[in-house]
Amino acid sequence: MPILRVEQKQEKPFDLELNKDEFTIGRSSNNDLTFNNLSLSRHHAKISHQGDKWNLEDSGSRNGTFLNGIRLGQSSSLKHGDVIQLGEIILRFIDPLSDRLQVTDTSPALGLGATFMLDTDKLNLKSYTKEAKSGAVAAASDENIWPALNQAAAALITHYPIDRLVEVIMDIVFQAIPAERGALILMDPKMPDNLNIKSVRNTSSGQNLQISRTIIQEVLQNRKAVLTMDAQADDRFEAAQSIQMQGIRSIICVPLWNEREVIGLIYIDNLIARRTFTHQDLRLLALIANMAAVKVENAILLDEQIQKKRMEEQLAVAAQIQRRLLPQFNPEIQNYEVFGTNHSCYEIGGDYYDFILKTDGKLAIVIADVSGKGVGAALLMAAFQASLRTLAITEKDPASLMSQLNSVMLQNSTGNKYITAFYGELDILTGNFLYVNAGHNPPLFLQKEEHTFLKASGPVVGIVPGAKYVSNQIQISAQDLLFLYTDGITESQNPQEEEFGEDGVIEFLRKHRLLAVDELSALLESQIREFTKDAPPIDDATVVFVKRIA
């Protein structure tokens, strides 16, 4: 039965059996697999069983369904190892080993009699070439090796994607060495104990291919090529039930050795009715594997580069979209200077600020910071922005707006995501500023002789059901300055790991408050760079200045 391996950021992966013919995935609770994640649509995708195939289909989702990095346009069949991406969620389609290949714990005795091994110094194509030229290799005994190696080299000149390449390699193997069954397995570089079955060949109907775990360990860990010339005839294999039950007569298993490390293996065997493998077969398969390992490694690296480039292009588009969600210009209001700017430490980020001119003539000012960074934070920020702009039209009181916003975000964010937010409404005529602070860094209000922090009047958004918020107010008079910011400003660090801090902000604004707000912003950015010695930023940084000039 196929398995979906579910991978989410900062959560432990888990496996889910596809135990029904149609399996739906999305944000809605009536799906078979539900994720409380805004990057998914309510009904995002489905996997269905038709005949002997499993097919993946997008259900008209907003952000699309991707199979191995390519957005689905129509239903596509799944194969072992396929990677499905739904927003921030990664699903791996796993065809269980028992359906294709089984790794058994039964252990043939290795190293004596009918079993032979080659060390890595015998697996090197360059070394073999030198031996052949020097005459150390008997021409008669290896007369069939060079034609096979030449054919293999010719077939491997062309670049193939990794999934196609492994099939080409197995074609080469079966053309060079008469075998009934075989497999190519790659090691997971991040989790070496995980084996990724890339190709299985089985011309013997009715029998699953089984490989002894002992042989796998000998090849992968000890870097040896293994040959059993006649497993049935050797009484030392009587304990190896998998070999006896399958009627295996002869086995070869060689490492995919790139002269630095083993990245996988190639296994072939023959049953009783077929020929026994020879030393020449062992040497030939080992040399083909050495040649193929370099090609496999290059293909994996190239695929990663292509995927990285595709991701960079998608991030560039996402960054453009996110920039459009932020104000495209600063509002021009009589008797006030208003200025805001944002800098993300990655291509896209989780900071947000906005200016909204309400129908009653008031100017709504908001600044917010989504927990985390990157794509997930940016998606949640976009949802926050859309919800806030909708509610700002109808809600008359900042505290009521924040309560409504909290309820909306609770339904659309995961438990480990939240938003700190500050929202206020400025009466342009009177200077009255009514605000609510939902767990955000307290804005700094500077008057001629004193300063005040506008502290939190309620919890962060998206964590506490039914959270209560309180509106407060200040009076902005001529020459007063209101400074809103995210923690990327105060938490900027110098090489001694000292933070710029609230004290640094107060000192800076006290010293330079008479400057125009756009000049204040540029100078603050310059001083933070000087403070951090131009170290890369560790967080997104956003500032908003509101200054009454008359």
The top-scoring range by mean pLDDT among 94-98, 121-125, 289-293 is 289-293
Question: Does 310 reside within a domain?
Answer: no
Cα(252)–Cα(267) distance, rounded to whole angstroms?
6
Q: Of the residues 268, 302, 336, which one is the last residue of a structural domain?
A: 302
- What CATH number is attached to the domain comprising 471? 3.60.40.10
Q: What confidence score (pLDDT) does residue 525 get?
A: 93
Are 162 and 194 in the same domain?
yes
Question: Does 318 reside within a domain?
Answer: no
- Span 83-90, mean pLDDT? 91
Number of compact structural domains in the chain: 3
Are 391 and 533 in the same domain?
yes
Model pLDDT for residues 418-473, shown as the tens digit of each residue: 899 999 999 999 999 999 999 999 999 999 889 999 999 999 998 888 999 999 99
Are 266 and 131 in the same domain?
yes
Are 78 and 106 in the same domain?
no
Identify which of 441, 317, 318, 436 has the alpha carbon closest to the alpha carbon of residue 382. 318
Model pLDDT for residues 30-60, shown as the tens digit of each residue: 788 888 888 888 899 999 987 657 899 999 9
Q: What confidence score (pLDDT) does residue 205 get?
A: 54
Type of residue found at 476: I
Q: Of the residues 302, 336, 369, which one is the last residue of a structural domain?
A: 302
Question: Does 141 reside within a domain?
Answer: no
Q: How confident is the model at residue 76 (pLDDT cuts 50, 70, 90)?
A: very high
- Span 501-512, mean pLDDT? 93
Are 422 and 542 in the same domain?
yes
Q: What confidence score (pLDDT) does residue 335 get?
A: 95
Model pLDDT for residues 296-318, shown as the tens digit of each residue: 988 888 877 877 787 777 677 77
Q: What confidence score (pLDDT) does residue 160 get?
A: 83
Question: Does 311 reside within a domain?
Answer: no
Are 269 and 408 in the same domain?
no
Model pLDDT for residues 154-183, shown as the tens digit of each residue: 888 888 888 889 999 999 999 999 898 899
Are 48 and 112 in the same domain?
no
Q: What confidence score (pLDDT) does residue 435 get?
A: 97
- What CATH number is attached to the domain comprising 228? 3.30.450.40
Are 67 and 120 in the same domain?
no
Model pLDDT for residues 527-549, shown as the tens digit of each residue: 999 999 888 777 789 999 999 99
Identify which of 455, 457, 538 has the alpha carbon closest to the alpha carbon of residue 497. 538
The better pLDDT of the pair 9, 509 is held by 509
The better pLDDT of the pair 320, 363 is held by 363
Are 333 and 281 in the same domain?
no
Question: Does 51 reside within a domain?
Answer: yes
DSSP 550: -
Are 297 and 382 in the same domain?
no
In the sheet with 195-202, reading across from the earlier edge strand, the strands are 115-118, 225-228, 248-257, 262-271, 181-187, 195-202
Residue 304: CB partners within 8 Å, gap ≥ 6? Answer: none
Question: Does 412 reside within a domain?
Answer: yes
Q: Is the pLDDT confidence value at 474 over 90?
A: yes
Q: Is the pLDDT confidence value at 482 over 90?
A: yes
Residues of the domain holding 70:
3-94
Question: Does 321 reside within a domain?
Answer: no
Cα(400)–Cα(114) distance, rounded to whole angstroms?
82
- Span 106-114, mean pLDDT? 49
Q: Please count the other Cβ atoms lying within 10 Å of the Cβ belonging to residue 360.
A: 8
Are 251 and 362 in the same domain?
no
- What CATH number is attached to the domain comprising 68? 2.60.200.20
Q: How confident is the model at residue 151 (pLDDT cuts 50, 70, 90)?
A: confident
Question: Does 320 reside within a domain?
Answer: no
Q: What confidence score (pLDDT) does residue 543 get?
A: 96
In the sheet with 76-77, reading across from the earlier edge strand, the strands are 33-34, 22-26, 45-50, 53-58, 76-77
Are 368 and 290 in the same domain?
no
The better pLDDT of the pair 448, 138 is held by 448
Mean pLDDT of all residues belonging to the chain: 83
The better pLDDT of the pair 250, 338 is held by 338
